[in-house]
Structure 1
Amino acid sequence: MVFGSSGDRGSVGNSEVAPIVVLPETEAVAVKTALSPVAWTLHGNRNRAYVLISGTGRLSMEGKVVQLASPCVLWLPTGNAATLTLEAGARGAALAASELAIGRAVPSGPIGGQVKDALFHPVLGAKVEPAVAQDLCRSIEAVGEELRHDRPGGQDAARYHLVLVLIALWRTSSPEAPAPQSAPRAIVRNFLHLVELHARDHWRIEDYARFLSISRGRLGSAVKRVTGRSALALINARLVAEAEVLLGGTNLQASEVAEALGFKDAAYFSRFFKRETGVTPGRMRREAVLRKSRRAQSFAAWP
């Protein structure tokens, strides 16, 4: 089996793995080894979470070997290369998610900063209660189910299940009470988390302010003071970034990209994109295709 489309490779012997569709940002699989171990070579290109509800395994990282015994949790942020082996009979779940997917799933509110900080640090086989491990497996499998079946609202449902996974991982790090923060920075941090979650919903500035229990004016002044940009500019920048990913990395038509980003009118999306970037969606896609073609030709010329 190959588990990971971003450079992380692995092989499975005699094992059963629930088939989950591979998407650009996130993969989630249920793992049940049979007569042979499951082995992964992880190059650190994505965030990784593994939950064992039964069985054992081992992790090799930076010359050290960590023995894993269920029920336990393993978390490897991006940049941490490792080799993971799950022995025959191990059962659990595995998750791989890009930085973008994790960023959109970090919860808002007072705990958001703590969760984000905790996710920078590996969790190497932390023991958890059996019920916690079961809940984590169900949440990971729910992410995969939502992504696989492509039901209405599936992407949002998958993201909210991912939120539950991240909170559970944060709890394994024994979180402390939140430290005092300067008011403007706390407001902006929570605002940016909400933008990751709701930019596609096209929340108004008033909606963000209402959720944060502050006035629109206070939100705007805090964002301007901390970032030097307006709240609307940051929201638009997030939509443009996602539009560029979809236009340059998928075969979706501009109208389909507009729908995926919550625009009810494809023509309005085109005007919005040109206003923000200076080019139309069609031209942006053509330039992306041309860049890929040039790279491919360059690689083909290698000896």
Structure 2
Amino acid sequence: MNRWQRPPPDPEVQLLKGELAASEWTFSESGYRSFIFLSGSGSVRSGDGEVPFAAPCLIWLQARRGGSLRANAGSRGVSLSVSEISFARAVGMGPNARAIREALSRPLLVVKLESKQARRLADSVEGILEEGMQDWPGMDDAVRHRLALLLIGAWRLSGPVMREAQPLPRTIMHRFLHAVELHMREHWTIARYAQEVGITAECLNATVRRVTGRSPLAIVHARLTQEAISLLDSSNLPIADIAETLGFHDPAYFSRFFKRQTGRSPNKHRQNSALRSHSGHSFAAWP
């Protein structure tokens, strides 16, 4: 099996070449898994039981801990593993984004395909693999756009999306976190996030507090702080550039925000991080 994997949040592609023995995947991480089988058969096991499948078919599922997929000997196709962040970036915020997220956020989707449909989807996944293997200029953008085309194709094949009159708390959180990942640098209001999720601001606030114990604004601020810490620790960018990257037009305001969240200024955090890194180097191991 050929495999390409770049550091998260980029996707992982695996070619399934018809092994002589059965193959099995056990899911232990969050994110999504997709299998396009051109030939063969098998079954998917989850908390809801076991679902058999036969090629040609598309399988799309949330990679929840405890789930697994077994492909019988001789099964051929492709597999794609997608992180939550990569999924969110590929879906984007276009007119069909919400419908795509709803369709592909189901626990399990098994769609019987015609051979041509399966081949077309498999070619889309193999295109992602080819981009990663060649390391061409613009590869990241090409991978994201190829993944977006694949998601649209899977959505079209999934059938009509049934909208929930009253979204479940898990669905609300899922949509909210996707929106935060995409738009935290734009500093949306909570009302704007609620509009994107499809509920009122009051409902969003109540749901997020019930699920996490924190307000929606606290979730957004925590995610911005996490990004700020990552940039401070892993780059030499000036504080003003980091502020601009994160959507703060005033570096002084960014510094006040960061200190309010962490108890120290960005400069102080960077100094402490440099000292920790320096103290981690020891001459004791030298020959």
Structure 1 position 115, deviation (Å): 0.7
| Equivalent residue number for residue 54 of structure 2 | 69
CA distance in 1, matches of 2:36, 2:130: 17
| Equivalent residue number for residue 135 of structure 2 | 150
Structure 1 position 92, deviation (Å): 1.0
> Aligned residues: percent identity?
29
Q: Is the 8 A contact 1:111 1:178 kept in 2?
A: no
| Equivalent residue number for residue 269 of structure 1 | 241
Distance verdict in 2 for CA 1:246–1:29, change over 3 Å: farther
Q: Does residue 128 in structure 1 map to residue 109 in structure 2?
A: no
Q: Residues 186-229 of structure 1: CA distance to partner in whole angstroms, max 9, x if unpaired?
A: xxx9xx879839x7xxxx99xxxxxxxxxxxxx99x8499579x
Q: Secondary structure at the match of 1:20?
A: strand
| Equivalent residue number for residue 8 of structure 2 | 24
Q: Does residue 196 in structure 1 map to residue 177 in structure 2?
A: no
Q: Does residue 52 in structure 1 map to residue 37 in structure 2?
A: yes
* Aligned CA-pair RMSD: 4.2
Q: Residues 107-139 of structure 1: CA distance to partner in whole angstroms, max 9, x if unpaired?
A: 433211111111220344310122221121122
Q: Residues 59-109 of structure 1: CA distance to partner in whole angstroms, max 9, x if unpaired?
A: 122262221211111111243631211122111111111111111111433
Counterpart mapping for 1:87-166 below 5 A:
87-166=72-151
Q: Is the 8 A contact 1:43 1:81 kept in 2?
A: yes
**AA in 2 matched with 1:269:** D
CA distance in 1, matches of 2:43, 2:194: 48
Counterpart mapping for 1:236-247 below 5 A:
242=227, 244-245=229-230
Structure 1 position 173, deviation (Å): 2.1
Q: Which runs of 4+ in 1 moved over 6 A?
A: 192-195, 235-240
| Equivalent residue number for residue 266 of structure 2 | 280
CA distance in 1, matches of 2:193, 2:3: 46
Q: Is the 8 A contact 1:254 1:282 kept in 2?
A: no
Which consecutive unaligned segments of at least 5 residues does structure 2 have? 165-174, 196-200, 203-219, 260-264, 277-287
Distance verdict in 2 for CA 1:236–1:152, change over 3 Å: farther
Q: Secondary structure at the match of 1:89?
A: coil
**AA in 1 matched with 2:157:** T
Q: Residues 15-41 of structure 1: CA distance to partner in whole angstroms, max 9, x if unpaired?
A: xx1131342222122221321121111
CA distance in 1, matches of 2:4, 2:80: 11
Q: Is the 8 A contact 1:33 1:90 kept in 2?
A: yes
> In the comparison of the two structures, how many residue pairs are matched?
229
Q: Residues 215-269 of structure 1: CA distance to partner in whole angstroms, max 9, x if unpaired?
A: xxxx99x8499579xxxxxx99987655545666xxxx414xx6xxxxxxx5642
CA distance in 2, matches of 1:155, 1:241: 22
CA distance in 2, matches of 1:288, 1:80: 37
Q: Is the 8 A contact 2:27 2:64 kept in 1?
A: no
Distance verdict in 2 for CA 1:284–1:147, change over 3 Å: farther
